[in-house]
Chains A and B, each alone.
Chain A
Amino acid sequence: MLIKTLATWACVSLCMLTFSQTNYTLKGYVLNTNNVPVSGALLASKQLSTTSLSDGSFILSGFKNGSYEVTITHKNYKEQHVNVRFNGASTSITVALDAANTELETVTLYSKSEEREAHESPISTVKVSEDFMNLNRENSLMQTLSKIPGVSTINIGSGQSKPLIRGLGFNRVSVVQNGVKHEAQQWGNDHGLEIDQYGIEQIRIIKGAASLLYGSDAIAGVIDIEAPKIPMENTLSGAVNLLAENNNDLFGISAGLQERKANWYYRTRLTYRDYGDYKVPTDRISYESYIFELHENHLRNTAGREANAAFSLGYVGTNFKTETFFSNVNAKNGFFANAHGLEVRTSTIDYDSNDRDIDLPYHKVNHFKIVNNTTVYQGAHTLNFELGFQNNHREEHSEPVPHGYMPKPDDSQERVFYKNTWSFNARDAFKPNEKHQLVFGLNTEYQNNNIGGWGFLIPEYNRFTIGAFAFDHFDISEKLHFQGGLRYDFGVVKTKSHFDKFQSTVNNADGSTSYIYLQRALNKTLNFNSLSGSVGLSYVTPKTTYKINLGKSFRIPLANELASDGVNYHMYRFERGNLDLDPEKSYQLDMDVDFVSKKFDFGVSPFINWFENFIYLNPTSNYYETLQIYEYTQSKVFRLGGELRLGYHLLKHLRLDGSLEYVYSRQTTGPKKHFTIPFSPPLSGIISANYQFNKNLFFFKNPQFSANFRLTANQDDIVPPEEKTEGYNVLNLSFNSGFKLLNAKKLAQFRFKLNNVFNTQYFNHTSFYRLIDVPEAGRNLSVSLTIPF
């Protein structure tokens, strides 16, 4: 039913596209001479006018054929006039404004804007601006991004999440921050992403094969958190964000400050968030034949806190710029106390006396990062260097209990991971002539992983990878662009042996019994190499952009996939690695059509994907010490799907948006032939309406109302040991507005948001707690305030 409704709705909306367009649109960007976007610039031509947004973008509609003079004014910049001619099509421009205090120098920059480059690249990307982040901010970065079609999350309670792109996650999505790949224990389904979601200006999301540029793991896509724009000369600015929520009694504060003199600049940020147990719209949870009564709807012991600090120091020279980022993310989160993994637990801990404390079981993580980005402009060459060091320290604690032959451990320290990662990337972008842009690059990375605690899941290992790539962006014509390249990678993984600290009883073939310290991992050195690449075309017209791209991506198997041989007691399974695994190879064909006009915008991005050897943890029908054996196995997998998005200005101030996402996956060989792959997101869509007042309401400046309704179909396509998940509909409402506070020039932003308006009880198929039948969070009211200065 849902599918039909959505499809009908999509078709009806599509039919509206046949209305002819006689009005043309001028789109583009307003930047200053340092290429920093200028917001609030007034663009006017005859009776038409608009204001540039915070990313510098603007859309001015209503032009007919002919010549127009567009005047661009901003209080901090020199007025500028640009002549634009419309001849049967819309057009776009990039305007560079000179600071008002400098000498008059009327320059109109016609170099390719970032926007234009994104259009011309055959790899389809979604840009997420700081505005989007502020408007849609949820409890964690990935929850905020999950509004983007094709992006979903694995939530671990209310404050932690990890990314899924078109149903693939873990080490099949690369998360890159300031040019360096974020390296933690991504393989764990209860390990959230250790990145502060404040202070991010722009994220580029690539859905599709991206190994060519990003190396191993960028199979499903990339979440690329870009370095913030360099502040303008002689400026000091900052902002404080305040957030309060009633579902988990969260309060959060984040304050950022940045200053630039002539060449030197710094940025700094502090974030603190503290939240209690979250509430679900039920007072009991039924998991198999167990029933957990909840105290006042609280999911006991899911409280958490997070404290982050970041500082960076940068220098802009005449032909180079450099910035060094230091950041530390520290978080501690409780796990639901009634079941640890799948294991039902009872405890003498009085969880219900306080809904803010974090008792056992819990995990804590500290992620420290130093990254340097340096760019050197050398004639036709632009050289980029990225150097990074990361330390990830994760601890998982639970009440010690005996399991199997393991006697009761002495402490709560179940698992400790201590991982250091060094990265170095170098890239040369070279423009030999007007038509070509060549890029050569080198990526190297060294990982050193150490373990501790009484539970064993993955071995200690060292891993070194090196990869080199080259690609060419060729402007065949103004409209048609080609991009293609090749990459070669080599990697070495050295796993270290590991023995149990306790003796197990082993029945020998001759009837005798031995008591031995079992070996859980081997000393092994494994080499991998892979050739990857991509070719694609894009065709850019003023209103429509077409893209097609074929890419081959790869992923080096993880140490746990190769060498684990241990009992995961809480999941009631014995996990066995496979030293013969090959690097995963994935071929993907991506297409993208994007259409923008005055009233409508529309996009469709289908994909077809073929894995030669998809690695997954297959539940076998055999047992080891009464636990089901799960083996890392490779099989061929076929996937297809895509996203559809539509926007329509129904009235001048009322905009309707719709999006749809779907993925179909099938294993075509192996023990789970005909089954899907784990964590397949269901068909889902969002319908939203947005009303923008262009006048003031009381003291609110340009307030905006929005409602979004998420429709999610049943997920009946599962693979053992998953459960089918029923579909659901959830309504979220929000109101946001600017208003004057402290600073008359920079408006403070106020946001009021009501999630799950009807307190609907529903299950998210890809949530960590789905396995034990824990529903998603109930109604949540959040109020946030951003005060710039």
Chain B
Amino acid sequence: MLQHSFNMTKLIKQLSIVFIFALIVSCSGDDSADKDETKPTISINYNNGFPQACAELVRGETYNFRAMVTDNAELAAYSLDIHHNFDHHTHDDQEALCDLNPVKSAMNPMIYMENFSIEAGLTSYEINIQVTIPNDIDTGDYHCAYSATDKTGWQARTSIDIKIVE
């Protein structure tokens, strides 16, 4: 019986050692090397970046919306979304704080939503989308949001407060 309980103890010890070993191995033997864990980046903070925070865009004019995206491995797609912020429901992530017009209701707001893919194999790319601001849309506060994905499925986003004026 004593022999028996001795074996039990030994078995428990062995089992736990195996368990702890498995634990350490699985912690340290990480395969992060072949995994992409880096999000792409997206920036308008360079000379040609457009629009900058608080920029005023004029109806009827055509603008080139430009932002720089980069990724450690491979870029995949990007999108541009322009929607109104007449109700002040949100704000941008740029450092400047823009003065907003008084809250108002939307009659015929501009809605621009487009997606684009990026050719395979690139790690940096300049978004350059030509957008004409229609003549008949509501003027006021707008929100401009860029987003970009990499091949793995990581996403980067940035948004800018702008105004559309007469």
Asked if A543 lies at the interface with its beta carbon under 8 angstroms from chain B, I say: yes
In chain B, positions 73-100 with a C-beta closer than 8 Å to chain A are 76-81, 83-84, 87-91, 93-95
CA distance A625 to B115 in the complex (A): 7
User: Does B153 lie within 8 Å of A3, measured CB to CB?
Assistant: no
User: Does A619 lie within 8 Å of B153, measured CB to CB?
Assistant: yes
Chain A 594-607 interface mask (CB, 8 Å, partner B; 1/0): 01000000101010
Binding site for B on A (CB under 8 A): 3, 7, 10-11, 14-15, 17-18, 21, 87-89, 288-290, 343-348, 399, 401-402, 404-405, 407-408, 505, 541, 543-544, 572, 591, 593, 595, 602, 604, 606, 618-628, 640-642, 644, 662, 664, 666, 671-672, 674-675, 683, 716-718, 720-721
CA distance A203 to B27 in the complex (A): 32
18 sample A-B contacts, Cβ–Cβ < 8 Å, listed by A number? A3-B23, A14-B16, A17-B13, A289-B94, A289-B158, A346-B88, A401-B87, A402-B83, A541-B8, A572-B155, A591-B15, A619-B154, A623-B78, A625-B115, A641-B23, A674-B34, A674-B35, A720-B154
CA distance A93 to B9 in the complex (A): 24
- CB contacts (< 8 Å) of A642 on chain B: these are 19
Residues of B within 8 Å of A, CB-based: how many? 60
- CB contacts (< 8 Å) of B91 on chain A: these are 344, 346
B158, chain A: closest CB distance, angstroms:
8
Asked if A10 meets B149 with Cβ closer than 8 Å, knowing A346-B89, A595-B12, A626-B115, the reply is: no
User: Does B9 lie within 8 Å of A626, measured CB to CB?
Assistant: no
B45, chain A: closest CB distance, angstroms:
11
Interface residues of B, dominant DSSP: mixed
User: Does A621 lie within 8 Å of B152, measured CB to CB?
Assistant: yes
B83, chain A: closest CB distance, angstroms:
7
- CB contacts (< 8 Å) of A602 on chain B: these are 12
- CB contacts (< 8 Å) of A662 on chain B: these are 23, 26-27
CA distance A3 to B30 in the complex (A): 14
Binding site for A on B (CB under 8 A): 1-2, 4-5, 8-9, 11-13, 15-17, 19-20, 22-24, 26-27, 30-32, 34-35, 37, 76-81, 83-84, 87-91, 93-95, 103, 106, 109, 111, 113-115, 117, 145, 147, 149-155, 157-158
Give which listed residue, B24, B117, B153, contacts A671 with CB less than 8 A.
B153
User: Does B15 lie within 8 Å of A7, measured CB to CB?
Assistant: no
User: Does A604 lie within 8 Å of B149, measured CB to CB?
Assistant: no
A698, chain B: closest CB distance, angstroms:
43
User: Does B27 lie within 8 Å of A3, measured CB to CB?
Assistant: yes
CA distance A281 to B109 in the complex (A): 42
CA distance A7 to B23 in the complex (A): 9
- Residue in chain B with minimal CB distance to A718: B37
Give which listed residue, B2, B34, B77, B90, contacts A345 with CB less than 8 A.
B90
A573, chain B: closest CB distance, angstroms:
9
User: Does B89 lie within 8 Å of A17, measured CB to CB?
Assistant: no
- CB contacts (< 8 Å) of A404 on chain B: these are 83, 111, 113
Asked if A625 meets B153 with Cβ closer than 8 Å, knowing A88-B1, A662-B23, A674-B34, the reply is: no
User: Does B115 lie within 8 Å of A345, measured CB to CB?
Assistant: no
- CB contacts (< 8 Å) of A671 on chain B: these are 153
User: Does B9 lie within 8 Å of A17, measured CB to CB?
Assistant: yes
A7, chain B: closest CB distance, angstroms:
5
